[in-house]
């Protein structure tokens, strides 16, 4: 018998790390690793100093409330309501051990064996993996050339077993920021059909738009339809402390409490205290981090010209990611390990973000540029532009 875990694919990040085995990189040409979106730097010094003091509090080493510390739930509800211009109560917030667990908990509370969840393609690979391991069918929703999903295309995929549509904005892997009218259309579709709209906003702090990216929290009865997911890992560099959040209905969170108590009991207490401290003290620092990421996004766009001249295409760019199309005959899954050896560049093939047999996966790559800088991005583009391999036949050629 094959278990559900055996049936899903191996996690892409560890898989990509295997391509580095046995490969040496000259000191004057080190590896440019743009494979993972997790911040490489620790939290800022002021937060680390605060965390050192928190360590002396005995509660930092103990179990806390299953749905999260009251102070953090209240602080996030206040920040969330202010940012989105809607009403959010602390009882509509749950704290989880990272945003991946937030997604897992929402699926556990809303789906049963054989149910379906619609995922726009390209999808976030861990969402697909969890659905596989939960006995829930992931239904692919192809996006257009702009990498945006269309509500009417999703409507055609809804069946009696559909329980939710799950999306990420700003998007991982594509970097695109979903316009407010797209999200409004999906909200209306989900409300009208009685399913959940799950919106993972892990990267919302790096959205290039000023103000709220959508007005869904101002809709009457929003929590009957909308579930938002969030991560403190990216903006406060708390990746190892595993602090995420769910914003949704109190009734759903009551069911999620069963999942949390069984899987993790509670999110790490020290990380929760740090996240609350960040919400209360690091607004200016957070704005500066956003400016840095937006500058790196601009650097990707500025340095893409030589790649475009070689037939590469920049399909999406935003938050931590760029999504690019290559011009070569070889598929991206075969090219990716070659780029490590021949160009000293590690990026992920889009086959890791697309269903098996989806031809777009062979043509595209995800570039996670957030841990680089302008010089590194310029060198990355220069190295890719120097790659010389057989080109794909022109589109439509026999």
**Residue 19, domain member (yes or no):** yes
Q: Is residue 393 part of a domain?
A: no
357: domain CATH number is 3.90.1150.10
- Strand segments, DSSP code E, in 85-243 are 93-96, 116-121, 137-142, 162-168, 196-200, 226-231
Give how far Cα 285 sits from Cα of 201, 290, 291, Å. Answer: 19, 9, 10
- The model's pLDDT over 12-49, given as tens digits with 9 standing for 90+, comes to 888 899 999 999 999 999 999 999 988 889 999 999 99
Q: Domain check: are 24 and 89 in the same one?
A: no
- List C-alpha distances in Å: 320 to 316, 363, 397: 11, 20, 35
Q: Show which of 282, 314, 332 is a domain's final residue.
A: 282
Q: Is residue 382 in some structural domain?
A: yes
Burial class (CB in 10 A: 0-12, 13-18, 19+), 32: buried
pLDDT by residue, tens only, the chain of 398 residues: 889 999 898 888 888 999 999 999 999 999 999 999 888 899 999 999 999 999 999 999 999 999 999 999 999 999 999 999 999 999 999 999 999 999 999 999 999 999 999 999 999 999 999 999 999 999 999 999 999 999 999 999 999 999 999 999 999 999 999 999 999 999 999 999 999 999 999 999 999 998 899 999 999 999 999 999 999 999 999 999 999 999 999 999 999 999 999 999 999 999 999 999 999 999 999 999 999 999 999 999 999 999 999 999 999 999 999 999 999 999 999 999 999 999 999 999 999 999 999 999 999 999 999 999 999 999 999 999 999 988 887 765 54
Rounded to 5 degrees, φ, ψ at 152 are: -70, -35
Asked if 353 and 249 sit in the same domain, the reply is: no
Neighbours of 40 (CB within 10 A): 11
Going by C-alpha positions, the residue among 329, 348, 327 that lies closest to residue 339 is: 348
- pTM, two decimal places: 0.95
160 found inside a domain: yes
53 inside domain: no
Shared domain for 82 and 70, answered yes or no, is: yes
Judgement on whether residues 190 and 324 belong to the same structural domain of the protein: no
Question: How many CB atoms neighbour CB 306 within 10 A?
Answer: 14
Q: Are residues 123 and 202 in the same domain?
A: yes
What pLDDT was estimated at residue 160? 98
Residue 184 confidence (pLDDT): 98
CB 29 within 8 A of CB 382: no
Beta partners for residue 349, in sequence order? 365
User: Are 189 and 99 found together in one domain?
Assistant: yes
Q: What is the helix, strand, coil percentage profile of the chain, to 5?
A: 45, 15, 40
Closest CA to 361 of 142, 136, 35: 142
pLDDT for 38: 84
Selection from 195, 258, 257, 254 nearest residue 226 by Cα: 195
Does 272 lie in the same domain as 191? yes
Structural domain contains residue 145: yes
Structural domain total, the chain: 2
335 in a domain, yes or no?
Answer: yes
Q: Which of 239, 256, 282 is the last residue of a domain?
A: 282
Task: With CA atoms as reference, report the closest residue to 338 among 391, 389, 393, 392.
Answer: 389
On whether both 269 and 330 belong to a single domain, the answer is no
The Cα–Cα gap between 173 and 138 comes to 17
Q: Domain end: 247, 267, 282, which one?
A: 282
For β-strands 32-33 and 313-318, DSSP reports them as unpaired
For residue 352, how many other CB atoms are within 10 A of its CB? 25
Kindly report the length of the chain: 398
What does the pLDDT read at residue 397? 53
> What pLDDT digit, counting tens, does each position of 272-306 carry?
999 999 999 999 999 999 999 999 999 999 999 99
In this structure, the answer to whether residues 68 and 202 fall within a common structural domain is yes
Instruction: Tell me: do 293 and 278 sit in the same domain.
Output: no
Instruction: For 34-92, give the DSSP string.
Output: -S--S--SPPPHHHHHHHHHHTTSGGGGS---TT--HHHHHHHHHHHHHHHTS---GGG
Query: In 231-363, where does DSSP find H-type helix?
Result: 233-236, 250-263, 269-281, 283-302, 305-309, 332-343, 360-363
Query: What is the domain extent for residue 298?
Result: 4-42+285-386
- Would strands 313-318 and 321-325 be described as parallel, antiparallel, or unpaired? antiparallel
Based on the fold, state whether residues 131 and 80 are members of the same structural domain. Answer: yes
Say if 392 falls within a structural domain: no
Please tell me whether residues 72 and 189 are part of one structural domain: yes
* CATH number, domain with residue 136: 3.40.640.10
The DSSP element (H or E) to which 380 belongs, if any, is: helix 374-386
């Amino acid at each position: 018998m094959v278990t559900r875990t055996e049936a899903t694919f191996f996690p892409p990040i560890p898989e990509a790390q295997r391509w580095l085995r046995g490969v040496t990189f000259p000191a004057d040409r080190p590896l440019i690793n743009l494979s993972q979106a997790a911040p490489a730097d620790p939290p800022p010094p002021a937060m680390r100093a605060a965390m050192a003091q928190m360590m002396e509090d005995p509660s930092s080493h103990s179990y806390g409330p299953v749905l999260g510390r009251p102070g953090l739930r209240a602080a996030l509800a206040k920040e969330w309501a202010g940012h989105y211009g809607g009403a959010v109560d602390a009882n509509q917030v749950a704290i989880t051990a990272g945003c991946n667990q937030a997604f897992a908990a929402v699926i556990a509370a809303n789906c049963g064996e054989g149910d379906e969840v619609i995922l726009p393609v390209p999808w976030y690979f861990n969402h697909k993996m969890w659905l596989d391991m939960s006995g829930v069918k992931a239904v692919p929703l192809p996006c257009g050339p702009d990498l945006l999903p269309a509500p009417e295309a999703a409507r055609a995929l809804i069946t009696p077993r559909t329980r939710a549509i799950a999306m990420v904005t700003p998007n991982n892997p594509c970097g695109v920021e979903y316009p407010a009218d797209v999200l409004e259309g999906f909200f209306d579709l989900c409300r009208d059909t009685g399913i959940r709209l799950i919106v993972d906003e892990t990267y919302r702090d790096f959205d290039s738009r000023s103000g709220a990216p959508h007005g869904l929290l101002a809709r009457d009865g929003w929590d009957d339809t909308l579930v938002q997911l969030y991560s403190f890992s990216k903006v406060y560099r708390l990746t190892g402390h595993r602090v995420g959040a769910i914003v949704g209905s109190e009734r759903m969170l009551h069911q999620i409490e069963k999942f949390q108590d069984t899987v993790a009991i509670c999110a790490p207490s020290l990380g929760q205290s740090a996240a609350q401290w960040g919400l209360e003290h690091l607004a200016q620092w957070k704005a500066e981090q956003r400016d840095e990421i937006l500058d790196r996004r601009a650097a990707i766009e500025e340095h893409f010209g030589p790649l475009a001249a070689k037939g590469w295409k920049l399909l999406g760019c935003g938050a931590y990611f760029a999504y690019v199309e290559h011009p070569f005959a070889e598929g991206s899954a075969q090219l990716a390990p070659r780029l490590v050896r021949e160009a000293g560049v590690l990026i992920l093939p889009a086959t890791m973000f697309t269903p098996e047999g989806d031809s777009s996966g062979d043509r595209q790559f995800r570039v996670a540029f957030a841990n680089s800088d302008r010089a590194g991005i310029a060198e990355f583009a220069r190295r890719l532009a120097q790659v010389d391999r057989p080109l794909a036949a022109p589109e439509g050629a026999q």
